Amino acid sequence: ETLQPGQSGTVASPITFGAYGSGAQPIINGLNVVTSGWTSETNAYYSSFAANPQQVFEDGARLVAVSSKSMMTPGTFWFDSTDSRIYVRMSGDDSPSGHTIEVGERNYAVLLDGRSYIRLDGITLHGASIGGLNLWNDDSGLVVNGCTFEWNYDAGLLYNDARATTDNVIGVTAQ
């Protein structure tokens, strides 16, 4: 799910999201794993999907979007808006079973609309359909430190003025 705090922190008590202890950065993932429901159809497989996912990953590698089923080659996907289906053609031209298929499900990994005094510290925001983090509305006292933004379709970090952001890694965006 999208991390969307229900309230703001305060100057004296900001709300902090981050890692506890040692190890890898926590990941807020905009993708969902599709584990079943794949049907074979002429070198591709499809599954029901309500909305265009913008991006699809096979075992962590991003598939290329194509604009029609006839354009599908190994390592591509297509969204059929008429029948609400997502088609994948695996890189090895095999079945999705035995692979991890992830599809874009959420617009944002973190949405802080109008929230203030929030701190994001050392987390990864991955795979959102629009942006990893949206800071567009009237919010203040936000700190983003040591975060990684990767494979967010439109942008990793969306903001409309100077913010307290330090030591972040803006990774590959999908477009």
d(CA 35, CA 32): 9
Residue range 9-13: mean pLDDT, rounded? 93
Q: How confident is the model at residue 165 (pLDDT cuts 50, 70, 90)?
A: low
Residue 131, classified by CB atoms within 10 Å of its CB into exposed (0-12), middle (13-18) or buried (19+), is: buried
Positive or negative, the CA dihedral 123, 17, 100, 46 is negative
Positive or negative torsion for Cα 84, 90, 91, 97: positive
- Select the more confidently predicted residue: 99 or 152: 99
Query: Average pLDDT, whole number, for the chain?
Result: 86
- 156 — pLDDT class (breaks 50, 70, 90): confident
Residue 170 has pLDDT above 70, yes or no: no
User: Sheet holding 15-18: strands in order across?
Assistant: 15-18, 118-121, 143-145, 164-166
Predicted local distance difference test score (pLDDT) of residue 152: 87
Is pLDDT above 80 for 118? yes
Q: 3-state class of 69 per DSSP?
A: helix
Q: What global pTM score does this model have?
A: 0.82
Question: What pLDDT, in 10s, does the model give residues 30-85?
Answer: 999 998 889 999 889 999 988 888 899 999 999 999 999 999 999 999 999 999 99
